[in-house]
Chains A and B, each alone.
Chain A
């Protein structure tokens, strides 16, 4: 168990390091930063720009800048946003709360669709339910989030006569629904498929032979082994939720991590871009790690193997 934990931590650290280094290098090599645009202003002399550059440490070579940034990042100091003029860490923390809530709601919606439907699918082996599950998977898998978000926007505009009220809970749930669509397909396909596979196993036959009711067989014996792949997928889909939040938040005008990233890119606010990339890659790693830990809790074999 501890071996597994350590292994995951090391992997995560490597991943975050590689990602941040590559992004940093790319941003550095491509040249240009928030100060480049100042050149267009004839009233600001080249000397001033150079002075500003040394104030922000932009005149240093790339590796030095990276290590400076990294040592700051370890202590939670991600530098100052050149556009918003406030510390990056505070900005990211404030905005990530809203995105976190939205993502949690999306996960909750996906689970409330996937779990009961999959269970009903194996409990009552009816064709209607199977066909419904199949078409729901196809539909949610192929409806892009941007389309859903735009439709949600059109609906909310129709509902409210006046200007859009961004704080309304209707809009929040519409956004969460748009964010959750691909999750529904992934969870449903995984869980339903895995349950069907498990139901053909010998120990299920044994449980039935003992005279247990079908519901008990499913709820007590089939769920646990079928859950593991779903946990992996759930951990992995955190990345897709964070990526999707960029679109959903921008379309529906929510202040979150996604919209923060967009404004950072548009303002070429490199410290902020780096901060968000670091934060999201850490979050994704955390999601994966939690997914695997939950698997270990669920499945004793994984725990004992130490993998």
Chain B
């Protein structure tokens, strides 16, 4: 299944090169999600109380070694910082830091990069600056990508299962069942999804711990996101059920369930997979929206959405727009990549 996805469109046309770029970006996101702990130099909730709202650490070079200078607070009220150029610390790779579990099994404390120091205490390197509580924004971004990416991925899987089931039954059972199910599907499709999602969200307590918030998001996605998939599945099933091989299977006395799942489903799977891929950004954005509005994942756990709430601090937004909007850039890159890939995967 994967070979077809990845090699399906590489050599066909010039535009297929664009799809490769799309796959690379998606792969990068997957890597961030899997190796967030290894790539992030600091724990996502570790505070550095002396440097709240600090700008990004500048990387200098002395010879060929990258070095950084520690940042000193100049004005604690206006949150301005200056570099202390009398001190220099070299950057290092594969350094030891806080411990995390790699791939969910191996307990380790090795990180891709960090600041080397001989005296014990090293200044922190904040590639995207720190937030109001002095937490490294780059590390938070990586963990945020992990949460948002995984929730969106599982959400798509769950919604697809529901959608394929409803669509398949609707297309195959026909008549009354079909009319009823497609009526509901059309209503779902026409409704303002985000308002519906918020309506469902209102039924549950506002503040939830991480795993329960993730489960709730998945439940909401499954409840509201299946309609698109159901519609597509029904259309495809309808177009296949009069084909010879299906009629032959029915004539041989194969049970309805077997016809649907063994004869029809494998044939429509490629089209469904493309649509599922295109649904991924929809779910990612729903998670971002909910967390941004404060009803998804709650602080201190980072998600792409709740990191963006920092934009409401207008002073910060003015002084370091890129650092604050980095999660938005990540979202944009992801949706663009999926579109680029999806354009060629149209089956």
Contacts and interface: CB of A to CB of B under 8 A. Distances in A.
B193 A243 contact: yes
Nearest to A259: B293
Interface in A12-33: 14-15, 18-19, 23, 26-27, 29-30, 32
Contact of B202 (A27, A163, A164): A27
Contacts of B206: 266, 268
Contacts of B208: none
A241 B194 CA distance: 10
Interface residues of B, number: 46
A285 B338 CA distance: 31
Given A26-B200, A246-B195, A273-B202, A141 B339 contact: yes
Contacts of B295: 262, 265-266
Given A27-B203, A154-B325, A250 B292 contact: yes
Q: SS class of chain A's interface: helix, strand, loop or mixed?
A: helix
B194 A246 contact: yes
A144 B331 contact: yes
A136 interface: no
Given A18-B184, A150-B325, A143 B335 contact: yes
B5 interface: no
A294 to B, nearest CB: 17
Given A143-B335, A150-B328, A262-B198, A158 B289 contact: no
Interface size of A as a range:
35 or more
Given A143-B335, A146-B292, A138 B343 contact: yes
Interface stretch (B55-63, B72-80, B262-270, B314-322): B314-322
Nearest to B295: A265
Contacts of A141: 339
Contact of A276 (B195, B204, B311, B340): B195
Contacts of A284: 190-192
Q: SS class of chain B's interface: helix, strand, loop or mixed?
A: helix
Contacts of B328: 146-147, 150-151
Nearest to B339: A142
A265 B199 CA distance: 7
Interface in A124-151: 138, 141-144, 146-147, 150-151
B190 A146 contact: no
Given A30-B203, A138-B343, A147-B331, A281 B191 contact: yes
B145 interface: no
Contacts of A183: none
B201 interface: yes
Interface in B279-295: 281, 285, 288-289, 292-295
Contacts of B159: none
B336 interface: yes
A14 B289 CA distance: 29
A288 interface: yes
Contacts of A27: 199, 202-203
21 contacts: A15-B190, A19-B187, A23-B199, A142-B338, A146-B292, A146-B331, A151-B328, A236-B190, A240-B193, A241-B192, A242-B195, A243-B193, A246-B194, A246-B289, A247-B194, A264-B202, A265-B202, A266-B294, A276-B195, A280-B195, A285-B190
Question: 8 closest pairs, A vs B, by CB?
Answer: A30-B203, A243-B194, A243-B192, A242-B192, A142-B339, A265-B202, A239-B192, A15-B187
